[in-house]
Amino acid sequence: MATLQDTMAQRQKESQERINGLYDQQYNSQAAQLKTAYDRNLSNAQAEQAKIAPQYQTQANQLAVQYERNRRNANMNAMNSGLNTGTALQQQDAMNNVWQKNYANLRGNEMAAQAEAGQKIADLGADYQGQLASARATAENSKAAALIDEQNKLNEWYDAQAKQLAKYGDFSAYESLYGKTAAKQMKQIWVIQNPDAALSAKMITKKKYRQITGHDPGQK
């Protein structure tokens, strides 16, 4: 036959499993939503990053085409104008310097854009991990509060049951709460206050009954 302590232990186990399952389910649902949002944002950020290299390569190609066009036009102008070779070479050097400067600026801008895109992706990951940790902490705190509240309710229930048992001289529940010495003292007080019930329950002998009441059982 299950004791009150066994029933209490079973109720504790069931309530813990129920509360753990409830808050774990809530966390898992929130974590799944965070993961979906993170994956979507990450995919978008990676797609934007993937566009950077082609965009800047197109601009680099355009610079090269424009440089070559300018170089040919300069050569034709030099021939038509009768410029000497030295002057023509100076013009070409100037155009080449401009092209190299523009190309270097372009690649510098590309590196900056790549760095910014990479940082955005890193920030997304850090933000996701932070949100996940926050969700876990909130779930654990809520779970702990719920477990404490449930334990308080169980303690109240157990105390009520212990009081009910104590009315009939059974202090086994109080023994688990306060120890054998305290339970023994409570039982002794109960016996003194309820000698007839104690004798009927064979918790005391007739001799002990006489010591407590000063008369034999059935006498007043």
Q: How is residue 186 written in tokens?
A: 């409570």
Q: Are 42 and 210 in contact (CB under 8 A)?
A: no
Looking at the domain assignment, is residue 152 inside a domain? no
* Higher-confidence position of 149 and 181: 149
Of all residues in the chain, the percent with pLDDT exceeding 90 is: 48
Looking at the domain assignment, is residue 163 inside a domain? no
How far does CA 140 lie from the centroid of its chain? 8
Q: Are 124 and 42 in contact (CB under 8 A)?
A: yes
d(C-alpha 137, C-alpha 144), whole Å: 10
Looking at the domain assignment, is residue 91 inside a domain? yes
Q: Are 17 and 146 in contact (CB under 8 A)?
A: no
Instruction: Look at residue 54 in the predicted model and tell me its pLDDT.
Output: 95
Instruction: Look at residue 80 in the predicted model and tell me its pLDDT.
Output: 63
Looking at the domain assignment, is residue 199 inside a domain? no
Instruction: Look at residue 44 in the predicted model and tell me its pLDDT.
Output: 97
d(C-alpha 201, C-alpha 198), whole Å: 5
Count up the domains in the chain and report the number: 1
Residue 83 pLDDT > 60: no
* Higher-confidence position of 186 and 83: 186
Looking at the domain assignment, is residue 185 inside a domain? no
Question: Which residues span the domain enclosing 59?
Answer: 19-147
Q: At what angle do helices 85-166 and 4-81 cross, to 10 degrees?
A: 170
Q: How is residue 53 written in tokens?
A: 């290299």
Looking at the domain assignment, is residue 121 inside a domain? yes
Looking at the domain assignment, is residue 205 inside a domain? no
DSSP letter (8 states) at residue 179:
-
Q: Write out pLDDT tens, residues 25-63.
A: 999 999 999 999 999 999 999 999 999 999 999 999 998
Q: Are 118 and 49 in contact (CB under 8 A)?
A: yes
Q: Are 78 and 91 in contact (CB under 8 A)?
A: yes
**pTM of the full structure:** 0.68
DSSP letter (8 states) at residue 82:
T
Q: Could you tell me the pLDDT band of residue 214, with boundaries at 50, 70 and 90?
A: confident
Looking at the domain assignment, is residue 158 inside a domain? no
